[in-house]
Structure 1
Amino acid sequence: MKKRLLVIALLVSASFGYAQTKKAITHEDLWLMKRVGMPEVSPDGKWVVFNVTDAAYDEKDQSSDLWIVPSDGGLKPRKLTSSKGGESGYVWSPDGSKIAFTAKRDADELAQIYIINLKEGGEALRFTNLSSGASAPKWSPDGKQLLFTSKVYAESLTDSANKKIAEDKKKLKYKARVYTSFPVRNWDQWVDEKQTHLFIQSTDPDAKAKDLLAGTQFIKNVGFNFGGSAEWTPDGNSIVFAATTNRNGAAYEDVYSNFYKVNLSGGEPNQLTTSKDDVDNPKFSPDGKYLYCIYTNSITTSGKVYNLPRIARYDWPTMQGFKLITSELDRPVSSFDISADGKTVYLNAEDQGQQKLFTVSSNGGKANLLIDNARGCYNGLSISSQGKETVVVASYENASMPAEIIKVPLKGTQHQQLSFFNTAKAASLDMPEIKSLWITSSRGKKIHSLMVLPAGFDASKKYPLFVVIHGGPASAWMDNFGYRWNYHLLAQPGYVLLLTNYTGSTGFGEKFGQEIDGDPFKGPGEEVNEAAAFAVRNYPFIDGSRQAAGGASYGGHLANWLEATTSHYKCLISHAGLVNSESQWGTSDAIYHREIGAGGPPWSQNETWKSQNPIRYASNFKTPILVTVGEQDFRVPLNNSLENWSVLQRMKVPSKLIVFPEENHWILKGENSKFFYQQLQDWLKTYLN
């Protein structure tokens, strides 16, 4: 027996990269890590700009600045800006001499666009001065104008008019929100009378911003909503953007977007596409012959709640010749860009617990891995737009390494790390390499899980098992470094973590993601339980008599389902989880997809509504459970946690309710996060130790 344990210890130590000389991670270690943002490579590929946030428990002490590093790694990164306000949305000018970005500096009531001139040096200068603020800058092809967005009152034609409307509303003696259509809320904000509009402004001194949508009939459509993405046409005379015109139908149909074109000279936008699928992120080929985009089938056309985001192409300017470029890649595309010669599309996509980089011909076909890394996630893909050889940069992270900026070789298997903001700190922490494992479920499905070992792991000991359930469900556990549910901080007291990618998870094919429709809790819950049973049988260091489960959002839903259907776990944790799917349908900010996933509205009382609703099994509730929720959460509103609490108290189940008044769907404030982790660990300790 001792020999067998020794062999297991050696195998696990090798598999997980365990080192005894390091210390266990604390919340302070986690929270005070520098947060390295996404990279943007210069047009010539020589420089990379990115932002770095110096986190602090008190938000007033937090700062974020722009940094720059040569893409060849010949010099260390250097700071470009120094201000309290965070910089974001940074973009290079076409000639690479300037960077435009969004920031809220000392005199700004709202964020504005700033420009820093790298050739002339000096501090960044404010470019916009709108009472409504400005964000998401994009340079025109000739570098003489900037496109950006601002949220304004629909009836205002000028900034002064917009400012006066805002001032008049502040003077009203009553406070009321009035609605005649859906939706009324979004995540943690009430929908108001403002709309996001497209603006342009010349770089000439004293130039004024121009609202391209002001006064048009287009924005008077009650279903109008800017889709969030826009791009200059190759000739620089127009803007192509994605927009929704059926947002007011969100209660009874899927909301989709189409492409529109608006001329800089003004006039009504011209509709370019007419499908009921979703288009986003328009990008033109370097020769201007094609318009590429992210294309996603809608619920309306597919009949499924989840559909893969793919890359599609239209001929420009005819908008004919529609072609799916990634039709052979059964993975969701996160972002993409096109090489300077127009022959290759670079993209990153989720794949079985990782974010990977691929290339595909601009005419479509098989997608090939750009770099084959067995660990981690590549995000924030950025490629050079000039020169003979493409320069590829990205952000890279894994479960034991916070994000850093890297350069990806066009050939080879090793990326080059360009930033090292957290390298020393991460090296001092005992964060064992995570392990992938697969099971074949009772339904014959291949189900993937990640396993995380605690600091100071000793294979000869027995550890409790904490089954952590991801949200979504159209999401997945990945080999990445998180802050809200950090694997190693959760495992730190001495728990083995099991993270299962149940049916409905992404990165395992479109069909796998769709098969949760009509089976929202039962099937995924069984897969989570079966993966836990497999781990207990096959890893002797797991103590099967001490198991807990928990999660957030859909993970909280599933924790409540486990409360209703099994007494297998010693305790449970449910953050932002529904207990009553019918009241969740009626009070969430988004409802139609829930109806489709269940096969009909709640009043149909079909089998799904009747048999897969946790509250219908309230008489079975007996497992001790910690219930937490953000009071500003409109995706899984407070009412569901209160319903859960009422049932738990009525059934005399050992339970605790924690409401965070200032938080939304996620716990984002430093001190609140620290308190949450403390409460979670205290709860687990009570029932597992």
Structure 2
Amino acid sequence: MTRALPNWLGLVQSLSLLCLGLASATSAADPANLLTAERLISAPRPGTAVVSPESTSALIGTSSYSFQDHFTSKVLYSIALSPSQGLQPASSLDTSTSAASSTSQPVVPVAYNATSGFYLSDTEAAFLIGDTLYAKNLSAGTPDPKDPGFRIGAFPAPVDNIQIVRVSDTSAVLVFSASVYDDGKLENVLAHDQSEIEQEWNRVKVYEDAMVRHWDTWVNPRKRYQLFSVELSKKKEGFETTWHFNSGFRNLMQGTKLECPVPPFGGSDDFALSDRFVAWTSKDPRLSKAWHTKQNIYVAPLDASEPPRKVSSGEHGWAGAPTFSPDGESLLWLQMRKDGFESDRRIIQSYSLNTNRHKEILGAWDSSPSKLVFSRDGSTLYILSEDDEQDKVFSYHLSKGLASDEPKEIVSQGGTSSIEPLKNGGLIITSSSLTSPNDVYSVSKSGEIRRLTNFGRESDALGKVDFGPQPEQFVYAGSEGQERHGWIIRPPGFDESKKYPVAVLIHGGPEGAWTNSWSTRWNPMVFAAQGFLVVTLDPAGSTGFGQEYTEAILGNWGGRPYYDIRAGVHYVLDVMPSADSERVVAAGASYGGYMINWLQGHNDDELFKALVCHDGVFDTKNTFYSTDELYFPEAEFGGVPWEVSSEYEKWSPQQHTSNWKTPQLVIHGGKDYRLTESEGLSAFNVLQRRGVPSKLVYFPDENHWVLNPRNSLKWHEEVLGWLKKWSKAEDDVAVDQPALAFQSKY
């Protein structure tokens, strides 16, 4: 819902921003308490909370990396959810680590070497360590996390994404995912892995279909992720009553080419369970995965007694995030109308398993939900959706399957990533922010929000970190006078009387956004801690502001977003006297890297003094021919390059290399099959040949993201070092010869 910016709004925003800037001045920051890259990488990485059947406790796992030991530790915690006098209500979702933990709720370690778990009963937790499933009774005193508990059984191959249906006090059904071969047998995976056929495939790969590589992996045509079920029973053996596998491992997709979770990023949200059925999403097997986004919703009995049945219908694109109503009679999911466009609006679909009736819900709501969760009594649907740079929670009341009102915003701030309904009608949510990793919160029926954990504050890595003034949202007039959005992050110890270099961060996607959530890769707070006034912008193409805003980039990659970025930078320079217009630098990855290369060719006024391009697009046409998901460039540029060649060439940074003159760091990963390494090498070659100060940092073992902790530390050193070097006063800059840096061996 793009709209013109009223003339008075720009003035109000300017005055507001200046006043807030003056009010946010603080004393000088203590260097010992700054957010360094090492602290960011070492900080806890909590998962999402899972609530027990009677809502008395929750499980959440965390992992953290030690540079001293070069080891990642994993801990599964239990959180008591019973009322406590120490639990203080909050007026809004406070996700800052600077706030002291507002809870005296017990948070105790259950098991080491596990990062996720589920409940067998209200007092029994189960979890995977390696390929073995263990369980513990949480009511039998304080658990010893070094003791894995009692052994339920071992899986014959790696499994993941375990979900449970509790049938009775002594029986249950598990559904999980595993990567298997054409025969669909979990028991045969190891033998296939070691077979001569598989060894031959590792030496020579032969394909007859497109998408031979996906993300960072060569696709094995004989292997796919599929869903399995297995029964559990509780039996007494000697003096102990323990759980055991009570059936074989049943492939719910046996004899099909269906795949779930859908790679490369599918997970437990790709399937859902009722007391009778499993519902999941899979790519349409009749269509090429390389140039179609269509996914279907399938249903099969828990015991695999019948083959899968497709319940989605008609012409549509992506479909996913299924969820059953508590009575198991209704199935809801999210669906896009357009095949081939991965950023179309997600619309709620409803299907009755009794009548086979299928309908659309909230088709006119200009929001794109990511998750649906029913309340325990089935009367309310909770909707997770990005909106205005926040990941918000909405409630939607249902009456006899029909909407009785519009969605109501109930959690307005933070980066909520999961919703768990409570027996009393409230919620447990997991949420992060720009200044805090994931934490667990309770939301009462009346909307009262209470913080239950504070993993960041209680960690060695983040416990004493000074994040500086709170990040601030702003609105400005962008291309064609349209309203655009962004964030300003001031450095710790900010002093409005001083001048600060400005670091502009450009997000990828391009259909993405800078939201109020924690990141372990492009974290704006790390840049601010280095003394930058950080500006993150959500130009045309960004999400969370309506579908028109998102689609404004289609066929316009270097047009509206480019003008929006420049307008956003000038807006900040105009309203913030502390922003030094002579020391503006920019960095971005993926589409953000594309925009860096585009800015490189359109920086005639030398607004940007230095640039950083991570895994960016150099030649738009070449990326079509070398990428994995062909539907992406087809949708963005309006067709295939042999039919609309001019559209690709119009927005290609390669067309403007004669203007390249700004110092630039180029970073690329050797396993990036989305944007291959030739894009980074091409940009570096141009910079070198033109004599532009430049450096190439190449990570042979990384994909589109830098994930290895040691590599991530090197990435931060190179990026921050480059930006700091070129954002100094001109007299202090020593121009080095162009350099080449490789990933270190260890």
Length-normalised TM-score, structure 1: 0.89
Q: Distance in 2 between matches of 1:172 and 1:443?
A: 57
Provide the secondary structure at the position in 2 that maps to 1:138.
Answer: strand
Counterparts in 2 of 1:614-629, with a 5 A limit? 614-629=653-668
Q: Distance in 1 between matches of 2:124 and 2:216?
A: 35
**Counterparts in 2 of 1:480 and 1:59: CA distance versus 1, 3 Å:** farther
**Counterparts in 2 of 1:550 and 1:87: CA distance versus 1, 3 Å:** same
Q: Distance in 1 between matches of 2:133 and 2:19?
A: 55
Counterparts in 2 of 1:277-292, with a 5 A limit? 277=316, 278-292=318-332
**How far does the alpha carbon of each residue in 1:503-540 deviate from its partner, in whole angstroms, 9 at most, with x for none?**
11110011111121111222101110111011111111
Q: Distance in 2 between matches of 1:546 and 1:606?
A: 38
**Counterparts in 2 of 1:671 and 1:650: CA distance versus 1, 3 Å:** same
Number of the residue aligned with 2:257: 219
Number of the residue aligned with 1:191: 219
**How far does the alpha carbon of each residue in 1:71-90 deviate from its partner, in whole angstroms, 9 at most, with x for none?**
2463544334333x3423x3
Deviation at 1:263, TM superposition (A): 5.9
Number of the residue aligned with 1:47: 57
Aligned counterpart for 1:419 among listed residues 431, 437, 453: 453
Deviation at 1:214, TM superposition (A): 6.4
Q: Distance in 2 between matches of 1:288 and 1:253?
A: 31
Choose 492-501 or 206-215, whichever is displaced more. 206-215
Counterparts in 2 of 1:123-522, with a 5 A limit? 123-142=148-167, 143-157=171-185, 159=187, 161-169=188-196, 172=200, 175-192=203-220, 193-204=222-233, 205=244, 207-213=246-252, 215-216=254-255, 218-219=256-257, 229-234=270-275, 236=276, 238-246=277-285, 249-262=288-301, 264-277=303-316, 278-299=318-339, 304-324=341-361, 326-362=362-398, 363-364=402-403, 365-373=405-413, 376-384=414-422, 386=423, 389-412=424-447, 415-423=449-457, 425-426=462-463, 428-522=465-559
Number of the residue aligned with 1:81: 110
Deviation at 1:157, TM superposition (A): 4.1
**Counterparts in 2 of 1:628 and 1:128: CA distance versus 1, 3 Å:** farther
Question: In the alignment, is the contact (CA less than 8 A) between 2:467 and 2:529 conserved in 1?
Answer: no
Provide the secondary structure at the position in 1 that maps to 2:642.
Answer: helix
**How far does the alpha carbon of each residue in 1:405-450 deviate from its partner, in whole angstroms, 9 at most, with x for none?**
11123224x5211112222545541432111111112412100010
Number of the residue aligned with 1:107: none
**Counterparts in 2 of 1:470 and 1:206: CA distance versus 1, 3 Å:** closer
Deviation at 1:559, TM superposition (A): 0.6
Question: In the alignment, is the contact (CA less than 8 A) between 1:473 and 1:505 conserved in 2?
Answer: yes
Q: Distance in 1 between matches of 2:280 and 2:379?
A: 24
Aligned counterpart for 2:616 among listed residues 560, 566, 577: 577
Cα RMSD, aligned residues only: 2.8
Q: Distance in 1 between matches of 2:20 and 2:435?
A: 19
Question: In the alignment, is the contact (CA less than 8 A) between 1:292 and 1:311 conserved in 2?
Answer: yes
What amino acid does structure 1 have at the position aligned with 2:488? M
Aligned counterpart for 1:12 among listed residues 1, 14, 21: 21
What amino acid does structure 2 have at the position aligned with 1:197? Q
Aligned residues: 659
Provide the secondary structure at the position in 1 that maps to 2:411.
Answer: coil
Q: Distance in 2 between matches of 1:296 and 1:321?
A: 15
Question: In the alignment, is the contact (CA less than 8 A) between 1:260 and 1:273 conserved in 2?
Answer: no
Deviation at 1:495, TM superposition (A): 1.4
**Counterparts in 2 of 1:253 and 1:285: CA distance versus 1, 3 Å:** closer
Deviation at 1:573, TM superposition (A): 0.4
Deviation at 1:594, TM superposition (A): 0.8
Q: Which has the higher contact order (CA 8 A, sep 6+)?
A: 2
Deviation at 1:98, TM superposition (A): 2.8
1:66 paired to 2:76: yes
**Counterparts in 2 of 1:101 and 1:504: CA distance versus 1, 3 Å:** farther
What amino acid does structure 2 have at the position aligned with 1:182? A
Q: Distance in 2 between matches of 1:17 and 1:355?
A: 29
What amino acid does structure 2 have at the position aligned with 1:481? W
**How far does the alpha carbon of each residue in 1:553-606 deviate from its partner, in whole angstroms, 9 at most, with x for none?**
111111111112224311100001010111111111111121121012112244
Counterparts in 2 of 1:573-652, with a 5 A limit? 573-652=612-691
Deviation at 1:175, TM superposition (A): 0.9
What stretches of structure 1 of length at least 5 have no aligned partner? 1-6, 105-110
Provide the secondary structure at the position in 2 that maps to 1:431.
Answer: coil
Q: Distance in 1 between matches of 2:478 and 2:258?
A: 52
Q: Distance in 2 between matches of 1:17 and 1:46?
A: 44
Structure 1 residue ranges (4+ consecutive) displaced by more than 6 angstroms after TM superposition: 7-10, 224-227
**How far does the alpha carbon of each residue in 1:601-636 deviate from its partner, in whole angstroms, 9 at most, with x for none?**
112244421210000111111111100012111111
Q: Distance in 2 between matches of 1:29 and 1:397?
A: 17
1:96 paired to 2:122: yes
**How far does the alpha carbon of each residue in 1:94-153 deviate from its partner, in whole angstroms, 9 at most, with x for none?**
x4233333432xxxxxx4544334356773444453332111112124152211111111
Q: Distance in 2 between matches of 1:59 and 1:38?
A: 26
Provide the secondary structure at the position in 1 that maps to 2:195.
Answer: helix
**How far does the alpha carbon of each residue in 1:635-665 deviate from its partner, in whole angstroms, 9 at most, with x for none?**
1121111111122222222110000122111
What amino acid does structure 1 have at the position aligned with 2:155? L
Number of the residue aligned with 1:27: 37
Q: Distance in 2 between matches of 1:289 and 1:255?
A: 25
Q: Distance in 2 between matches of 1:336 and 1:8?
A: 36
Question: In the alignment, is the contact (CA less than 8 A) between 2:229 and 2:251 conserved in 1?
Answer: yes
What amino acid does structure 2 have at the position aligned with 1:357? V
What amino acid does structure 1 have at the position aligned with 2:135? I
Q: Distance in 2 between matches of 1:522 and 1:531?
A: 14
Deviation at 1:343, TM superposition (A): 1.0
Provide the secondary structure at the position in 1 that maps to 2:203.
Answer: coil
**Identity, % of aligned positions:** 25
Provide the secondary structure at the position in 2 that maps to 1:81.
Answer: strand
What amino acid does structure 2 have at the position aligned with 1:129? A
Question: In the alignment, is the contact (CA less than 8 A) between 1:243 and 1:260 conserved in 2?
Answer: no
Deviation at 1:395, TM superposition (A): 1.8
Length-normalised TM-score, structure 2: 0.83
What stretches of structure 2 of length at least 5 have no aligned partner? 1-15, 85-103, 234-243, 729-746
Q: Distance in 2 between matches of 1:125 and 1:297?
A: 48
Choose 357-366 or 72-81, whichever is displaced more. 72-81
**Counterparts in 2 of 1:494 and 1:581: CA distance versus 1, 3 Å:** same
**Counterparts in 2 of 1:81 and 1:17: CA distance versus 1, 3 Å:** farther
Provide the secondary structure at the position in 2 that maps to 1:45.
Answer: coil
Q: Distance in 2 between matches of 1:127 and 1:479?
A: 40
Q: Distance in 1 between matches of 2:252 and 2:53?
A: 30
Deviation at 1:267, TM superposition (A): 4.2
**Counterparts in 2 of 1:102 and 1:322: CA distance versus 1, 3 Å:** farther
**Counterparts in 2 of 1:13 and 1:46: CA distance versus 1, 3 Å:** farther
Q: Distance in 1 between matches of 2:65 and 2:714?
A: 17
What amino acid does structure 2 have at the position aligned with 1:49? L
What amino acid does structure 1 have at the position aligned with 2:584? Q
Counterparts in 2 of 1:663-678, with a 5 A limit? 663-678=702-717
Question: In the alignment, is the contact (CA less than 8 A) between 2:21 and 2:576 conserved in 1?
Answer: no
Q: Distance in 2 between matches of 1:507 and 1:437?
A: 15
Q: Distance in 2 between matches of 1:199 and 1:11?
A: 55
Q: Distance in 1 between matches of 2:202 and 2:395?
A: 57
Choose 585-594 or 275-284, whichever is displaced more. 275-284
**Counterparts in 2 of 1:286 and 1:685: CA distance versus 1, 3 Å:** closer
Question: In the alignment, is the contact (CA less than 8 A) between 1:572 and 1:625 conserved in 2?
Answer: yes
